[in-house]
Amino acid sequence: MTKTLIVAGVAALMTTSAMAQSIGVSMARFDDNFLTTLRTGMEDHAATLDGVDIQVEDAQDDVAAQLDQINNFIASGVDAIVVNAVDTNAVDAMSKAAEDAGVPLVYVNREPANVDSLPDNQAFVASNEIESGTLAAFEACKMLRSMGYAGGAKGYMLMGQLSNQAAVQRSKDVEDIIGIDMCNFITLIDKQTANWSRDEASDLMTNFISAGDEFQVVFANNDEMALGAIQALKAADYDMADIVVVGVDATQDALQALQAGDLDATVFQDAAGQGAGAIDAALALANGEDVDQKVYIPFQLVTEANVDDFTSKN
């Protein structure tokens, strides 16, 4: 009697778990504004889908913790896993663990180093990072030209965490842009890291200002640092109309600064779109459907002209 009950119970459990699909998500960190928008994008999208359960874990920027989370997801029998990698170079162990267990895996936002050799049931959803820094830097170059600095302009660059792929790529994009013929009138006086932080960027910019060199442009790897630079410049009585400041991310704070005429350009990365795309890809893989292994959500340049289109997006 008890035996049949147990069997019936197990059978019932199995059928319910086959109906409701569960997705385990491991985020690199929770206390990052952009990643938070991405995370809420996933949660909101999953909430609109019938029978999709998602469980989100915070890896707190710890590679080892992230791998443990993946293994825990596999052990608890999730249908698919979404990973926002802590370290884009430390992804092989995660790919292998998921592949061995036959669980589909989707990397989101940060491009894994093994992106070109991903196993069949794994995919990557993100925006192409090379667009972001390039779009912002080129816009700055055009603005400086129209302001009459084509004969020579100087500037500073505020970089994100030096261990981060996006920081390295966006910095390289700026250097690439000021290397092309149209923009090689721009020279960088100095580039330093402000760790993505507004407070550190404001202090760093004030340190730059204290050197007393003249400059016309500030490239920031993200909006928070651009806003920090703007605060420092305003505190030192610079007229924001004379200095071109560009960032990346199109955060609400940055869009307000754009409308106020302090920030000159930023780049919109569709965080919520990436999150939703990752969930869709994970579900498709779990259902055995064909999925492009690289799904790119485009970046968009935001300037004073089109800022109103973005104020309700992030």
Partner 1 sequence: MAETSHGTGGLTFDAKKRSWPNEANVFIALILILLAFEALGMTFRDQSFLFDFNEARDGTILNMARIKIIILQVSIVGIIALGATQVIISGGIDLSAGSVVGLTAMVTMSFAQTGMVNGNPNPKSLFGPEWMDLPVILPVLLGLIVGIGAGMINGLLIAFTRIPPFIATLGMMVAARGAAQWWSRGQPVSFPTESFAAIGDGMMPVVWFAGLAILFHLILKYTVYGKHTYAIGSNEDAARMSGIKVARHKTLVYAIAGALAGFSAIVLASKNLTAQTGMGLMYELDAIAMAVIGGVSLSGGRGSIIGTCIGALIFGVIISGFTFLRLDAYYQEMVKGVIIVGAVVLDQWRQQRASLKG
Listed ranges 104-112, 141-149, 176-184, 228-236: which one lies at the site for partner 1 (CB under 8 A): 228-236
Residues 41-100 that bind partner 1 (CB under 8 A): none
Task: Please identify which residue in 253, 272, 285, 295 interacts with partner 1, judged by CB under 8 A.
Answer: 253
* By CB under 8 A, residue 31 contacts partner 1: yes
Both tokens assigned to 149: 């600095």
How many residues bind to partner 1 according to rule CB under 8 A?
Answer: 39
**Are the CB atoms for 56 and 27 separated by under 8 Å?**
yes
**Whole-number minimum distance, CB 55 to partner 1, in Å?**
16
Task: Tell me whether residue 279 or residue 291 sits nearer to partner 1 (CB atom).
Answer: 279
> Strand runs (DSSP E) across the chain, as ranges?
21-27, 52-58, 80-83, 105-108, 122-126, 153-159, 186-193, 217-220, 244-246, 265-268, 294-296, 300-303
Cα dihedral value 101, 106, 110, 115, nearest 10: 70
Shortest distance, CB of residue 52 to partner 1, whole angstroms? 19
Stretch that binds partner 1, among 87-95, 116-124, 194-202, 288-296 (CB under 8 A): 194-202
Contacts of 137 (CB under 8 A, 6+ apart): 173, 174, 176, 177, 178, 183, 219, 246
For partner 1, which is the closer residue by CB, 67 or 227?
227
Would you say 112 and 84 are in contact if contact means Cβ atoms under 8 Å apart? no
Are the C-beta atoms of residues 123 and 108 closer than 8 Å to each other? no
Closest approach of partner 1 to the CB of residue 11, in Å? 38
Stretch that binds partner 1, among 105-113, 142-150, 164-172, 205-213 (CB under 8 A): 205-213
In the complex, least distance from residue 304 CB atom to partner 1, rounded to whole angstroms: 12
40 makes contact with partner 1 (CB under 8 A): yes
Burial class (CB within 10 angstroms; exposed 0-12, middle 13-18, buried 19+) of 212: exposed
**235 contributes a contact to partner 1 by CB under 8 A:** yes
**Which of these ranges, 80-88, 198-206, 279-287, 298-306, lies near partner 1 under the rule CB under 8 A?**
198-206
212 φψ region: left (φ > 0), alpha (ψ -120 to 50), beta (else):
left
Nearer to partner 1, 121 or 251 (CB): 251
Q: How far is the CB of 271 from partner 1 (least distance, A)?
A: 12
Binding partner 1 (rule: CB under 8 A), the pick from 53, 99, 175, 203 is 203
Strands lying side by side in the sheet with 217-220 = 186-193, 153-159, 217-220, 244-246, 265-268, 300-303
**Measured between alpha carbons, how far is residue 179 from residues 124, 141, 283, 285 in Å?**
31, 11, 43, 42
Minimum distance from residue 314 beta carbon to partner 1 (Å): 9
By the criterion CB under 8 A, which residues form the site for partner 1?
29-33, 36, 39-40, 162, 190, 192-193, 197-199, 202-204, 206-212, 227-228, 231, 235-236, 251-253, 255-256, 259-260, 311-312
